[in-house]
Amino acid sequence: MKELTRKRILVTGGAGFLGSHLCERLVAQGHDVLCVDNFYTGTKDNIAHLLDCANFELMRHDVTFPLYVEVDEIYNLACPASPIHYQYDPVQTTKTSVHGAINMLGLAKRVKAKIFQASTSEVYGDALVHPQTEDYWGHVNPIGPRSCYDEGKRCAETLFTDYRRQHGLSIRIARIFNTYGPRMHPADGRVVSNFMMQALQGQPITLYGDGSQTRSFCYVDDMIDAFIRLMNTRDHPAGPVNLGNPHEVTMREIAERIVAITGSTSALELRSLPIDDPWHRQPDISRARELLGWQPRTSLDDGLVATARYFRARIQASSMSLPDADANAGADFAAPLAHSPT
């Protein structure tokens, strides 16, 4: 009976933050999982514990090139997702979103697989509607420093939707809002990882503007649950689905919580805002609640405690030290480090 429900599942970007958690969950469910990653931002450390599993396979591959495998489902997560990484090589970022989508959609069409696209809340840009619903078309700068990611993901949504219209492909589009948890890249420059590393190392916590800009943070376990529910919907939705935590907090509040949770003595330090940094980001998840019966269950404090435990262990294990907080730049990210991202 188990063989009848066992699926062959491809996860692109499977060695990344979200991808590794998804692979772990799918392997635990007994599916045959093919993890594909070019290791631009992903790392083998994230999936090392899965390598000895009989139903897990790892392949180094870049999705901007075609892939020929036989699978039942595809989760397309491949793309650097933090500004510090996607702005390092913006042309390649756009190629990954657009060419990667074309290649994965072509594969799904050939093997008649269901396919899931990891889109982003960044398709809304610096939103003029708050909170953001799936019907909002967004307010995006097409030529700014964040455009390689924002517009690449918007184009991928177009491709997925047109493959559904033209070829009847079974698609899923998830607009993912800020997600955090263990296995975040410590140097990805995102809010939680930035503040955690600064707090744990006693560096100043850098806030931009006056720290009143807002974000909504979803713990990774809740997000992975939403991914799988969305893929498993029998009657797939016609459009994208927002996935995230609707509880909104200011940057100052998240910084103060992290300082308290880590027991840090770090002071808050104000900086100027970067270009095109959205002021508000909060999902309306009514569609996810209705279609998936899903909403986040992990409290912010519980999630931050688990995340702090992970970063503390990494620091202790490797005695790592990031560059000074002066490298930071924005509510979502830090300025590029002097070395290439790994």
Report DSSP letters for 118-135, one per residue: EEEGGGGBS-SSSSB-TT
For residue 174, give the amino acid letter.
A
Strand-strand pairing, 268-271 and 205-208? parallel
Q: Go through the chain and tell me how many residues it has.
A: 342
Q: Which residue has the tokens 């997000």?
A: 223
Phi, psi (5° rounding) for residue 243? -130, 120
Q: Which of 40, 75, 124, 149 is catalytic?
A: 149
Cβ atoms of residues 244 and 284 within 8 Å? no
Sign of CA dihedral 96, 102, 106, 112: positive
Task: Give the whole-angstrom CA distance, residue 93 versus residue 83.
Answer: 10
Q: Is residue 124 among the annotated active site residues?
A: no
Assign 3-state DSSP to the chain and report helix, strand, coil percentages, each to 5.
40, 20, 45
C-alpha atoms less than 13 angstroms from C-alpha of 22 in its C-beta half-sphere: 31
Residue found by looking up tokens 């969950």 in the block = 25
- Number of H helices and E strands in the chain, helices first, is 10, 13
Q: CA of 98: how far to CAs of 35, 203, 295, in Å? A: 20, 38, 30
Element holding 33 (H helix, E strand): strand 32-37
List residues with catalytic annotation: 149
